[in-house]
């Protein structure tokens, strides 16, 4: 696949055009950012690890019949993906209360709700990605009410698939953030990545954090933990 011009240079990923109008190449960088870019660091090898982990998570979703933008991994840090029009909302699916929700609700991290909690953020850096409700998302024409119902159903199904995938690797999927895009036919498809950068992953036995919280909270061993996630996922495939 011919690699064309750089069309988007993000904090953690770059997007390149290809010879085909409906496909792009996404390149995973080694940069890590947190708290809306306030915190930034380079973690050598993180891009390679996230490409490999995201390949496994996207393949698991695709095998379950869920539409994802991922087509194939084409190098150690690049994926060939469908070109989509981004939908400016982030969907977070939470199996335990942690991170921002624990802070907002003033509860201890780890509280397990009945079922999963879905919440929405408006993907807007200038506003700091504020939490919004369904009515606000529809009122701003970010999505239609019907699209929102579809997105929520895909998020719940993805949660089941990913919880099972990580569970087999001895890892608890605490929460994860998904983004969606529309193809030329207006179909909603999962975009972005599903890696320790946007999933909270706790060791199922010890509760140790194995995701980006290691960077956010200065816990150290960021790439070591990501490598452990990949290693365990690979072992479950053998
Ligand atoms: O911080 P918060 O608890 O809202 O994060 C929920 C999930 O969304 C976590 O898995 C986190 O890694 C992910 N997230 C993300 N990008 C952000 C904020 C959160 O991927 N900008």
64 Cβ partners below 8 Å, 6+ apart? 157, 161
Distance from Cα 177 to the centre of ligand 1, integer Å: 6
Token pair recorded at residue 58:
């996207």
Q: Comparing C-alpha atoms, which of 25, 3, 10, 12 is closest to residue 73?
A: 25
pLDDT at 149: 98
* Shared domain check, 188 and 123: yes
With a 6 Å cutoff on the Cβ, whether 212 touches ligand 1 is yes
The phi, psi pair for 27, rounded to 5°, reads -110, 125
Query: Quick check: is 124 in a domain?
Result: yes
pLDDT at 231: 98
CATH of the domain at 37: 3.30.200.20
* Shared domain check, 186 and 108: yes
CA-102 nearest atom, ligand 1: 3
The helix/strand/coil state of 43 is coil
Percent of the chain past pLDDT 70, that is, above it, reads: 100
* Shared domain check, 75 and 118: no
Token pair recorded at residue 68:
């994802």
Query: Quick check: is 236 in a domain?
Result: no
At which of 48, 63, 82 does a domain end? 82
Residue among 92, 95, 162, 229 whose CB has most ligand 1 atoms within 8 A, to mutate: 92
Mean pLDDT by 10 residues, the chain (238 residues): 94 97 98 94 98 98 98 98 98 98 96 95 95 98 98 98 98 98 97 98 98 98 98 90
pLDDT at 102: 97
95-138 residue pLDDT tens: 999 999 999 999 999 999 999 999 999 999 899 999 999 999 99
Task: Please give the residue range of the domain that contains residue 59.
Answer: 3-82
CATH of the domain at 150: 3.30.470.20
* Shared domain check, 126 and 15: no
pLDDT at 3: 94
């Amino acid at each position: 696949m011919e690699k064309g011009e750089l069309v988007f240079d993000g904090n953690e990923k770059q997007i390149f055009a290809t010879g085909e109008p409906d496909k792009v190449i996404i390149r995973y960088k080694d940069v890590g950012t947190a708290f809306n870019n306030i915190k930034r660091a380079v973690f050598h090898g993180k891009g390679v690890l996230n490409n490999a982990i995201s390949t496994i998570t996207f393949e698991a979703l695709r095998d379950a019949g869920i539409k994802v933008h991922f087509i194939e991994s084409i190098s150690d840090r690049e994926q060939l993906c469908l070109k989509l029009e981004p939908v400016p909302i982030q969907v977070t699916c939470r199996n335990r209360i942690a991170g921002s929700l624990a802070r907002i609700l003033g509860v201890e991290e780890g509280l397990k709700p009945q079922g999963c909690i879905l919440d929405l953020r408006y993907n807007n850096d200038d506003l700091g990605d504020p939490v919004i409700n369904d009515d606000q998302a529809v009122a701003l024409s970010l999505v239609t009410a019907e699209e929102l119902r579809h997105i929520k159903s895909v998020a719940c199904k993805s949660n089941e698939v990913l919880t099972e995938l990580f569970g087999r690797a001895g890892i608890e999927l605490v929460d994860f953030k998904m983004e969606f895009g529309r193809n030329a036919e207006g179909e909603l498809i999962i975009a972005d990545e599903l890696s320790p950068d946007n999933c909270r992953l706790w060791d199922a036995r010890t509760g140790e954090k194995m995701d980006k919280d290691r960077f956010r909270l200065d816990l150290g061993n960021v790439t070591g933990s990501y490598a452990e996630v990949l290693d365990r996922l690979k072992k479950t495939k053998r």
